[in-house]
Amino acid sequence: MSARYVWRRLLQVLPVVAGIVTVGFVLVHLAPGDPVLAIAGQDGDAAYYAAMRAKFGLDQPLLTQFATYLGNVIRGDLGTSVAQGRQVTTLIAERLPATLLLTVTALVVSSISGVIIGVFTARRHQQTADTAVSVLLLTTYAAPVFWLGQLSLIVLALWLDLFPVQGMVSARSSATGLSRYIDIGWHLVLPVSVLAAKETAVVARLLRPALVEQLALPYARTARAKGLTTRRIVWVHALRRALLPAVSIVGARVGHLFAGTVIVEIIFGWPGIGRLLLTAIQSRDHPVLLGLFLLIAFSVIIANLITDFVYTLLDPRITYA
């Protein structure tokens, strides 16, 4: 992977970024209604609304607003929340750690469990266990997230009392240090499991046929004939090649995890950006909506870039000029 490739790939991203900023801006500003009404309440008078509008620059022509906005985005300034009067970047930054904790954990967990299940089913190809697991995976994949979430909340948290019901920390404990981390970890289990379940299915379902295919190839047979253990063949040789399709979708999975996290955060009361999104929708907080939209889109772009680079490194067959 040459430096030139890296640069070219990075340059390609620029128009995409510009396009996304435009899409978000146009969309939010085409919508009916006026964000000022959302914050100013029902009892103000016309002068009051006009003052608020001027304060947030909402009285400027759309093009001016866009130019200002673009300039600000480039400088890393996403504007001020209309509803809360605080920097959008601050609002996001306050919640991003919670969301990242959730999504990154889910990404790791689902990757590992997806690979394990994929290998398990590929090795038991055609056996009852394979079929059973495949059906289970497909069902998990088909079930709506909120369904899995509510079900696990009621059964595992309420009835069996195995996990906490809501939030990231226990409201009654003001624990610090290690016990606080344990508390957070405990709260993390259910939301991560729900979020990771579907991704696990995606990875496993992608891996299984690729692995089956690899194991049927001549080199695998040769290796076995040479006395290598099946385990070694699977984990060392076949897996490396079979993983490629799964690796190629990591970027997209980041996008799905962010989407899933909105629902999961609402159900489990997890204090992340999904909750901020919901509040922004209710108060029609344009800058926050735009900021979140950009954040998610940029995350996906970055994840895709990294994926591309990793993919290039993993797959010796691909060469880029």
Partner 1 sequence: MRGSSCRVAVLVCVVALLSSACSTADEPDADPDVATSPTAAATAADDSVTEATQAPPNADADDQSDTPSPTSTDTETEPATEDTGGGGGGTLVVAISQDPGNLNPAITTSGGTHTASEIIYNGLVRYDENLEIVPDLAESWDVTDDGATWTFSLRDDVVWHDGEPFTSEDVAFTFEEALLPFQSRMAASLTGVLESIETPDEQTVVFNFSEPYGPLLQQLHVSDAPILAAHVYEGVEDIQTADANLEPVGTGPFRFVSYAPDSEVRLERNPDYFKEGLPLLDELVMQIIPEDSNQVIALEAGEVDWLWGAPGPDLERLEATGDYEFLQTPFNPGGANCIMTVSFNLDRPILQDQAVRTAFAHALDRDVYLERILFGSGRVAEAPISSGIPFAHADDLDMPTFDPERANTLLDEAGWVRDGEGVRMAAGVEGIEDGTPLQMNFLSFPSFADYGEVMRQQLADVGIDLTLEPAEREAFIERVFVARDFDTNIISYCNQTDPEIGVRRMYISSNIQPIPFSNSSGYVNPDVDALFDQARSQVEIEERGDTYREIQEILVEELPYYWIVETDAIRVYTNRCSGFVPFGHFAEEASCEG
Partner 2 sequence: MPRQAERNAGRGAQWLGAALLLVIGVCAFLAPLIAPTDPFALDAPVLQSPSPAFPMGTDDLGRDVFSAVVHGARASSVMALGSAALIGLVGIAVGIVSGYLGRWVDDGLMRLTELVQVLPRFFLAIVVVALFGPGLDRIIVVLGITSWPPLARIVRAEVLSMRSQEYIDSARALGARTGRILWYHLLPGVVPGAAAYLSLAVAQVLLIEASLGFIGLSDPTVMSWGLLVGNARDFIRSAWWLAMFPGAAIAIAVLGLNLVADGVVARLTRRGGSGVAVSTRSSHSAA
The residue from 202, 215, 220, 239 that contacts partner 2 (CB under 8 A) is 202
Minimal distance, residue 5 CB to partner 2, in Å? 16
Minimal distance, residue 3 CB to partner 2, in Å? 22
**Is 156 a binder of partner 1 (CB under 8 A)?**
no
Report the residue number, 70 or 184, with the smaller CB distance to partner 2. 70
> Residue 38 in contact with residue 285, Cβ under 8 Å?
yes
Report the residue number, 189 or 228, with the smaller CB distance to partner 1. 189
Residue 19 binds which one of partner 1, partner 2, none, with CB within 5 to 8 A depending on kind? partner 2
Tell how far CA 263 is from the center of its chain: 12
* Whole-Å CA distances, 261 to 22, 65, 165, 255, 282: 25, 31, 16, 10, 18
Tell how far CA 116 is from the center of its chain: 21
Residue 304 binds which one of partner 2, partner 1, none, with CB within 5 to 8 A depending on kind? partner 2
The residue from 139, 173, 229, 230 that contacts partner 2 (CB under 8 A) is 139
Per the structure block, which two tokens stand in for 169?
Answer: 């920390």
d(CA 235, CA 248) in angstroms, rounded, equals 19
| Interaction residues for partner 2, span 266-305 (CB under 8 A) | 266, 277-278, 281, 284, 289, 292-293, 296-297, 300-301, 304
Closest CA to 98 of 247, 316, 276, 229: 276
Binding segment for partner 1 among 149-157, 225-233, 248-256, 291-299 (CB under 8 A)?
A: 149-157
- Residues 158-183 as b/e (b if ≥16 CB within 10 A, e otherwise) read eeeeebbeeebeeeeeeeeeeeeeeb
Residue 141 binds which one of partner 2, partner 1, none, with CB within 5 to 8 A depending on kind? partner 2
What residue spans of 82-177 are helical by DSSP H?
A: 88-123, 128-142, 145-152
| Interaction residues for partner 1, span 98-137 (CB under 8 A) | 98
Q: Name 248's Cβ contacts closer than 8 Å, sequence gap at least 6.
A: 307, 311
**Is 275 a binder of partner 1 (CB under 8 A)?**
yes
Minimal distance, residue 47 CB to partner 2, in Å? 27
**Is 26 a binder of partner 1 (CB under 8 A)?**
no
Q: Name 272's Cβ contacts closer than 8 Å, sequence gap at least 6.
A: 95, 96, 98, 99, 102, 261, 265
Minimal distance, residue 90 CB to partner 1, in Å? 9
The values of phi and psi at residue 87, to 5°, are: -60, 135
Per the structure block, which two tokens stand in for 257?
Answer: 């995890």
CB count in 10 Å sphere of residue 184: 16
* Whole-Å CA distances, 309 to 61, 194, 227, 251: 42, 29, 35, 11
**Is 145 a binder of partner 2 (CB under 8 A)?**
yes
The residue from 3, 30, 41, 226 that contacts partner 1 (CB under 8 A) is 41
- Residues 57-71 as b/e (b if ≥16 CB within 10 A, e otherwise) read ebeeeeeebbeebee
Q: Which residues bind partner 2 (CB under 8 A)?
A: 12, 15-16, 19-20, 23-24, 27-28, 30-33, 125-126, 131, 138-139, 141-147, 150, 154, 198-199, 202, 205-206, 209-210, 213, 245, 248-249, 252-253, 255-256, 258-259, 262-263, 266, 277-278, 281, 284, 289, 292-293, 296-297, 300-301, 304
Q: Which residues bind partner 1 (CB under 8 A)?
A: 31-35, 37-46, 48-49, 80-81, 83-86, 91, 94-95, 98, 153-154, 157-158, 161, 164-172, 174, 266-267, 269, 271-272, 275-276, 278-279, 282-284
